Amino acid sequence: MTKKKALLLVVIGVAIIFGTIALTFYNKIYSANTTKDTTVFIPSNTDFDAVIEILSPALKNESSFIWVANKKKYPNTIKAGKYQLKKGMNNNDLVNLLRSGNQITVKLSFNNQDSLEKLAGRIAEQLEPDSTSILIAMTDKVFLSNNNIDPENALGMYIPNSYDFYWNTSANDFRNKMLKEFHRFWTLAKKAQAKKQGLTINEVITLASIVQKETATISERPRVAGLYLNRLNNKWPLQADPTIIFAIKEKQGQDVVIKRVLYKDLEIDSKYNTYKHLGLPPGPISMPDISAINAVLNPENHDYFYMCADVSNLGNHAFAKTLVQHNRNAAKYQRWVSKQGINR
Domain locations in the chain as residue ranges? 26-100, 106-185, 192-340
Band of pLDDT at residue 23, cut at 50, 70 and 90: very low
Q: Please state, as a whole number, how many other Cβ atoms lie within 10 Å of the Cβ of residue 108.
A: 21
* CA dihedral angle for residue 159, residue 176, residue 123, residue 110, rounded to 10 degrees: 10
CB neighbours of residue 326 within 10 Å: 18
CA nearest neighbour of 259 among 245, 247, 270: 245
Weakest mean pLDDT among 10-24, 120-134, 259-273, 323-337: 10-24
User: Which option is the CATH number for 26-100: 3.30.360.10, 3.30.1490.480, 3.30.300.10, 3.40.30.10?
Assistant: 3.30.1490.480
Q: Measure Cα distances from 63 to 19, 38, 68, 103, 245 in Å.
A: 21, 20, 9, 24, 60
Q: Which of the pair, 10 or 166, is modelled with greater confidence?
A: 166
CA gap 237, 279 in Å, rounded:
6
pLDDT score of 216: 93
pLDDT band at 254 (very low <50, low <70, confident <90, very high): confident
Write down the pLDDT at residue 24: 53
101-125 average pLDDT score = 95
Is a pLDDT exceeding 80 seen at residue 199? yes
pLDDT band at 339 (very low <50, low <70, confident <90, very high): confident
Q: How far is CA 24 from the centre of its chain?
A: 48
* 76 phi/psi in degrees, rounded to 5: -90, -5
How crowded is residue 91: how many other Cβ atoms within 10 Å of its Cβ?
26
Closest by CA to 275, choosing from 263, 287, 288, is 263
Q: Is the pLDDT of residue 148 over 60?
A: yes
Pairing of strands 306-309, 317-320: antiparallel
Q: How far apart are the first and last CA of the chain?
A: 106
Calculate what percentage of the chain has a pLDDT beyond 90. 78
Residue (of 128, 137, 132, 131) closest to 168 by Cα position? 128
Q: Looking at residue 5, what is its pLDDT?
A: 59
CA gap 33, 64 in Å, rounded: 9
Residue 117 has pLDDT above 80, yes or no: yes
**What average pLDDT does this structure show over 183-206?**
98
Residue 261 confidence (pLDDT) above 70: yes
How much is the pLDDT for 29? 85
Contacts of 314 (CB under 8 A, 6+ apart): none
Instruction: Measure the CA–CA gap between 74 and 60, rounded to whole angstroms.
Output: 19
181-186's contacts with Cβ under 8 Å and 24+ in sequence apart are 182/157, 182/158, 185/159
- pLDDT-derived band of residue 10, with 50, 70 and 90 as boundaries? very low
Mean pLDDT of the chain: 91
**Cβ contacts of 91 within 8 Å, gap of 6 or more:** 28, 29, 30, 31, 33, 64, 65, 67, 68, 69
pLDDT tens sequence across 51-72: 999 999 999 999 999 999 999 9
Within 8 A by CB and 6+ apart from 303, the residues are 230, 321
Average pLDDT over residues 235-264: 88
Quote the pLDDT of residue 11: 47
Looking at residue 146, its pLDDT comes to: 97
**Res. 26 pLDDT band, cuts 50 70 90:** low
**Would you say how long the chain is, in residues?**
344
Q: Does the pLDDT of residue 17 top 80, yes or no?
A: no
Cα distances (angstroms) measured from residue 238 to each of 87, 244, 263: 60, 11, 16
- Give the predicted TM-score (pTM) of the model: 0.87
